[in-house]
Structure 1
Amino acid sequence: MDTKTATAIRRLRLVSMPEAVSFLLLLVCSVLKRTTEFNAVPVMGAVHGLLFVLYLVFLLDAWSKTKWPLKTVALYFVLSVLPTGGFVADRKLKREVEAEVIASRARREGIVNA
């Protein structure tokens, strides 16, 4: 994996967790708005919206660098619209990077000819 590809995936991982947390906080704020006088929905909505847009931009960047199939990109998009999907996306991206690092080391050491 080259440096640009690793950086693109790292950026996507970096924003996936905060995006998931902001989504959950937005849901909590929505419930609180309807049950109490507390209304943080405008603020959390803006924060979550910004993080969601960043997630999509970084997803497109990672897609262009990694050459993932459309099915993989669609999966990461669906995970971004599920309340806890960002956590799953982060875990999947971490595994993918670790697998690529292991494969790269194996190729370098001549263990696997790929």
Structure 2
Amino acid sequence: MINFFKLVSLLEGISYILLLFIAVPIKYLQGNPEYVKMLGMPHGLLFVGYIVLAIMLKYELNWNGKTFGIVCLLSILPFGTFFVGRYLKEEGDYKKS
């Protein structure tokens, strides 16, 4: 399940970057909300999937509160989800499932 979580975290991060740095500026600078509409739903679904998988992994891998909190915090920071795998590996809270 950890590999699936890493894939979802990568996709969630990409969707967040596209939304934040491309779609939102186009919406406010050019008055065109179509890109936000197009990218908003996939990003929202990926974000929810990321959080659900993080909760599942918290119990499966016995993460402590700090690890779970940081994994969740990384989901709201731009580029944060790109570092989840590295963080878990460094903390020793990463094992193949």
TM value normalised by structure 2: 0.84
Supply the distance in 2 between the matched residues of 1:51 and 1:93 (Cα, whole angstroms): 20
The answer as to whether partners of 1:17 and 1:90 remain within 8 angstroms in 2 is no
Q: Which runs of 5+ in 2 are unaligned?
A: none
Distance 1:52 1:11 in 2: 14
Hey, what's the Cα distance between the residues in 2 that align with 1:94 and 1:13?
12
Q: Which has the larger radius of gyration?
A: 1
Matched, 1:24 2:17: yes
Deviations 1:1-23, CA, capped at 9 Å, x for gaps = xxxxxxx2222111001100100
Q: Which of 56, 59, 63 is the matching residue for 2:58?
A: 63
- Tell me, yes or no, if structure 1 residue 42 matches structure 2 residue 59: no
Separation in structure 1 between the aligned mates of residue 85 and residue 28 of structure 2, nearest angstrom: 31
What is the RMSD of the two structures over their aligned residues, measured on CA atoms? 1.8
1:93 CA displacement: 3.7
Using the alignment, how far apart are the partners of 1:24 and 1:85 within structure 2? 10
Quote the sequence identity (%): 35
- Code of the residue aligned with 1:20 in structure 2: it is G
- The number of equivalent residue pairs is 92
> Contact conserved, 1:20 with 1:83, CA < 8 A, in 2?
yes
Compute the TM-score of the two structures, normalised by the length of structure 1.
0.72
SS in 2 for 1:40: helix
